[in-house]
Structure 1
Amino acid sequence: MPSGRTHDRLTLWFLPVVAAGSWLISRQSDVSLVLSGSYLFAGLMFGPDLDVRSRQSQRWGPLRWIWLPYRRCLRHRSWFSHGPILGTVGRVLYLGLWLLLFLLLIEGAIALVQGGNWNGLSDRLGQHQQWFWTGLSTRPDLGLGALLGLELGAMSHSLSDWVGSTWKRWRRSPRKTARQRPVASRSSRT
């Protein structure tokens, strides 16, 4: 399994390939920028190794504690963390729950400051929801680019883990060379 430094290098080395490939396919600079940015984010901060204490989890700084429940619930290298699509979707949903909780706390604090105007709270939450869905329906290509970039960043990590582990197993296993001839005993050489 490659080190965190190796994962970072691979992410940075392949960033130009991802950026050029996304631009050649979409021919839209904003889609390419979103896809490349989410690839970089996934490779450095939002990848599969959030299920252990890693460079990725440490990069969250004072917010790294939000990944503790995630880490406790998942076994390292499980399909729910390192698996294609499932791992990325799981992390997106997990982070989305934290963002929703944060939004509820902020809007609740605003309602308290406004003298307990809880009716306005539901209106503001509805506005946030409408803003999110309007943005997503207006530019679905950007949403798809973000999700694809997150998946590419996660898969570059998981594939390098798989290749590294396979290489180490191959190097440790006894290699079968040409069929070895049995050594003849002295008595049969006469």
Structure 2
Amino acid sequence: MPSGRVHDRVTVVLSPLAGLGAGVWGQRWELATLAIVGVLVSGFFLSPDLDILSKPYQRWGWLRWLWWPYQRFIPHRSWLSHGPIIGTVLRVAYLIGWLSLIGFGLSWVGQETGWWTWQWEATLAWLEKSWQQDNQAWIIGFVSLEIGAMGHYLSDFLGSVFKRSRPRKPHQA
């Protein structure tokens, strides 16, 4: 299995390639930028290795406690963490769940104290309008997150294949 340093290098190599592909496909530089950022975020912060005490887990700093339940319920290298598409969807949904919970909590405190109110309907309306106006950006955003994860899966797979293909040294007594 490759080290965290190898996974980081794969992420760095894939990011401009994804940006180039998105820029050519969408013919907009902001889509290329979105793809580059998506791959980097996926590789450095939303890595499949959030299910263990890894470099991406450590990068969350004092917020890494958010991933503690994920680590307890998702077995390392299972199809839930390292499965194409499902792994990325699960990590994004997990993070959105935490952000929503925190947002609802802050909204409740704000309303109770009278400091501010949050219009959740307005937020949902904005998301819907954003999708309708530029669904291409949403698609590229998700695909770039998956490309970052796929680089991880692929390097794990190739590392395992390489390790198995090497001749074993005879056991010496």
In the alignment, structure 1 residue 141 sits paired with structure 2 residue 132: no
Partner of 1:151: 146
Q: Is the 8 A contact 2:58 2:64 kept in 1?
A: yes
Moved >4 Å (runs of 4+): none
Matched residue pairs, number?
A: 169
Partner of 1:71: 71
Gaps of at least 5 residues in structure 2 are: none
What is the CA distance between 1:137 and its match in structure 2?
2.1
Name the TM-score, length of structure 1 as normaliser: 0.84
Partner of 1:58: 58
Q: Is the 8 A contact 2:15 2:35 kept in 1?
A: no
Partner of 2:25: 25
State the SS of the aligned residue for 1:128. Answer: helix
In the alignment, structure 1 residue 80 sits paired with structure 2 residue 75: no
State the SS of the aligned residue for 1:46. Answer: coil
Partner of 2:106: 106
Q: Give the counterpart letter for 1:31 in structure 2.
A: L
Partner of 2:166: 171
Name the TM-score, length of structure 2 as normaliser: 0.92
Partner of 1:46: 46
Q: List per-residue Cα deviations over 1:91-119 (Å, max 9, x = no partner).
A: 1110110010111012111101218x9xx
Q: List per-residue Cα deviations over 1:19-74 (Å, max 9, x = no partner).
A: 21221222111111111111110011111000101000110111000001011101
Q: Is the 8 A contact 2:45 2:57 kept in 1?
A: yes
Cα root mean square deviation, aligned: 1.7
Gaps of at least 5 residues in structure 1 are: 175-190
What is the CA distance between 1:173 and its match in structure 2?
5.5
